[in-house]
Amino acid sequence: DAGVIQSPRHEVTEMGQEVTLRCKPISGHNSLFWYRQTMMRGLELLIYFNNNVPIDDSGMPEDRFSAKMPNASFSTLKIQPSEPRDSAVYFCASSFGGSMNTEAFFGQGTRLTVV
């Protein structure tokens, strides 16, 4: 397996534009997580899916952020409209099992810059 695959690796966009980040989890994993990493706030969990169902989205900063998981092999994180303070590295991670008592495998991340 190629691991968790995220695209794009880098994204530069203008303030106000819509941004869509994509993630393909490891085949067979049933839990998927979106994290945001910044120097100021570290690694923050944005949303957690289990069996394609959003379980906890309390970390989503505001209504401009939305995430979907239409099937077991694909998820998106959308920001609309984007703002400069959204600039960060966004990681997707997946694991097997209904809890996080097992290893979480991270994708390579998407570095988002909003200018």
Partner 1 sequence: GENVEQHPSTLSVQEGDSAVIKCTYSDSASNYFPWYKQELGKRPQLIIDIRSNVGEKKDQRIAVTLNKTAKHFSLHITETQPEDSAVYFCALPSSGSARQLTFGSGTQLTVLP
CA triplet 95, 101, 5: central angle to 5 degrees? 15
CB of 98 to partner 1, least distance (A): 7
Cβ proximity to partner 1, 79 vs 93, nearer residue: 93
CB of 31 to partner 1, least distance (A): 9
CB of 27 to partner 1, least distance (A): 18
Cβ proximity to partner 1, 17 vs 102, nearer residue: 102
Cα–Cα distances (Å) from 43 to 59, 94, 96, 97, 103, in that order, read 11, 15, 21, 22, 16
DSSP letter for each residue of 15-84: TT--EEEEEEPPTT--EEEEEEEETTTEEEEEEEEETTEEEE-TT--STTEEEEEEETTEEEEEESS--G
Cβ proximity to partner 1, 65 vs 91, nearer residue: 91
Binding residues (CB under 8 A) for partner 1: these are: 33, 35, 42-43, 45, 48, 55-56, 59, 91, 98-101, 103-104, 106-109
Cβ proximity to partner 1, 93 vs 114, nearer residue: 93
CB of 64 to partner 1, least distance (A): 21
